[in-house]
């Protein structure tokens, strides 16, 4: 099963298995990863699943759509070039091992 690495602001890393087709926000909340709130349940209306995708994986993801881009303008932590909402990143074999830094703060 593919894996994702969540990196906290402290440097702590949590590596979890994620079924293909599941988004990284659901995987984080399902595994109790602190820092990913996902308050809206993935409806893209809260930006509490803001992550910064490691450079080596950013190019493997589809570009954020207009709605995600809009929500990224309202994140609590400053938006960065590789900022994404992890509710919009769907696990696939192509991104096995993806590393994402959890934005701090989320709210």
Task: Show the DSSP H helices in the chain as ranges.
Answer: 24-30, 55-58, 66-72
pLDDT tens string 9-66: 999 999 999 999 999 999 999 999 999 999 999 999 999 999 999 999 999 999 999 9
Number of Cβ atoms within 10 Å of the Cβ of 42: 17
The model's pTM is: 0.95
pLDDT of residue 8: 97
């Amino acid at each position: 099963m593919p894996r994702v690495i969540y990196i906290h602001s402290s440097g702590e890393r949590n590596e979890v298995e994620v079924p293909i087709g599941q988004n990284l926000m659901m995987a984080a909340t399902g595994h109790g990863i602190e820092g990913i709130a996902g308050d809206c349940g993935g409806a893209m209306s809260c930006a509490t699943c803001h992550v910064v995708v490691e450079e080596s994986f950013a190019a493997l993801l589809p570009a954020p759509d207009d709605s995600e881009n809009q929500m990224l303008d309202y994140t609590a932590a400053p938006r960065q070039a590789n900022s994404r909402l992890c509710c919009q990143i769907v696990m696939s074999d192509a991104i096995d091992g993806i590393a994402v830094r959890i934005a701090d703060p989320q709210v």
